Amino acid sequence: MDTRRISIVVVALIGIAYLGTPSSAESNSDATNLTKEFSNDYMRATSLRESGDCRAIAGLVKEIQGKWPQKDNRMYGALIVHALRAWRSACTTGAEEAPIQQIRQYARQALSTYDPNKLDNISIETEFDLVSILHEEYTYSKGKLSEQEWADRRSEGSAMWFHAWQRLENAVDRTWDPNDVPVENVGPPEGVSGFPGMPPELIKDRASRAKYEDAIKKNKEKIRIHNEQLRLRSLKKRYLRIIKKYIGDTYSMPPENKDEVRSLIESSVKDKNARNAFLQAVGKGQPQEP
């Protein structure tokens, strides 16, 4: 039996990096406790992965699925991605067969929590990671999948990749100037003696102190935006390559239906350069027998 494997390698981001600020309105104490709980569950998954305890990590995944969507969807997404990958790795370490279908079911459940009308959602990175769990590898073998089943999976994968891509494009601010870099330490207002980064409490004049505190606040926001836009652009470069490989490889296999993916590209991709790159990837694919 001939088998065609298409693998997409996705570099996992560290779960902690997904956190940012908890999406729900919480007190500092609640936010701290939530972050600690996240860290504990994240480290539990890491420990079980390294020990190869396939059954224990299955229980942890179920626990994460049960409690975290109600707490914070952004944290939930980061945790479920880490735990699902740890589950597969733990089974391999423990010489057990990984329950791929069950892992994919959990990934689908996590993806289904996304709601464009809510602020509390899985992150863009998490969505890409969940899609990769579902579609990072295909095995198309005669006798296992019919051409229609293969075509349906291919179509589903393409729609999922480009949904995540749309979120990414919408988050990228094209007016952002990468050369407008925030300062490391804000200097005191004009006429105030002191040094950049000095504590506001050292400024006795209330008006000058308020002006300084406002400048610090604005610079912090500028740092946040700067880091966010750099991160988004890095994601865009990475997933441009990954999606190109996916559509180039899968749509070079029968049954022929490149019009399907071309239509999806035209409707989903606003960036002209990216759209052309995706269309070229489909056009360059060579027909291959399964």
Q: Would residue 14 be called left, alpha or beta, if left means φ above 0 and alpha means ψ between -120 and 50 degrees? A: beta
| Residues 253 and 268 both lie in one domain | yes
Domain end call among 144, 165, 191: 144
Hey, which bits of 122-216 come out as E strands? 137-141
User: Is there a single domain that holds both residue 139 and residue 183?
Assistant: no
Please indicate, yes or no, whether residues 19 and 104 belong to a single structural domain of this protein: yes
Query: Is residue 27 very low, low, confident or very high in pLDDT (cuts 50, 70, 90)?
Result: low
Confidence of residue 36 (pLDDT cuts 50, 70, 90): very high
Contact 57, 45 (CB under 8 A): yes
* Residue 127 · residue 82 · CB < 8 Å: no
Task: Among 144, 172, 190, identify where a domain stops.
Answer: 144
Mark whether 48 and 13 lie in a shared domain.
Answer: yes
pLDDT tens digits along 97-140: 999 999 999 999 999 999 999 999 999 999 999 999 999 776 56
The answer on pLDDT for 284 being more than 70 is: no
Residue 283 pLDDT greater than 90, yes or no: no
The tally of domains found in the chain comes to 2
Task: Tell me, yes or no, whether 122 and 203 share the same domain.
Answer: no
Q: Do 158 and 126 fall into the same domain?
A: no
Q: Which domain holds residue 23?
A: 1-144
Decide which of 144, 168, 200 is a domain's last residue. 144
Report residue 89's pLDDT band, with 50, 70 and 90 as the boundaries: very high
The pLDDT assigned to 259 comes to 95
Q: Which residue has the higher pLDDT, 2 or 103?
A: 103
Read off the pLDDT of residues 236-252 as tens digits, 9 standing for 90 and up. 999 999 999 999 999 98
Mark whether 138 and 162 lie in a shared domain: no
Residues 130 and 159 grouped into a single domain? no
Statement to judge: residues 62 and 154 lie in one domain: no
Are the C-beta atoms of residues 272 and 32 closer than 8 Å to each other? no
> Nearest-CA neighbor of 171 among 76, 236, 74?
236
Question: What integer pLDDT is reported at residue 25 of this predicted model?
Answer: 43
In 3D, which of 267, 263, 159 has the Cα closest to residue 282?
263
Q: Are 157 and 289 contained in the same domain? A: yes
Q: What's the DSSP call for residue 137?
A: E
Q: Are 290 and 254 within 8 A, CB to CB? A: yes
Residue 24, classified by CB atoms within 10 Å of its CB into exposed (0-12), middle (13-18) or buried (19+), is middle
Query: 159 and 137, same structural domain?
Result: no
Give the integer Cα–Cα distance in Å for 44 and 225: 32
Same domain, 167 and 108: no
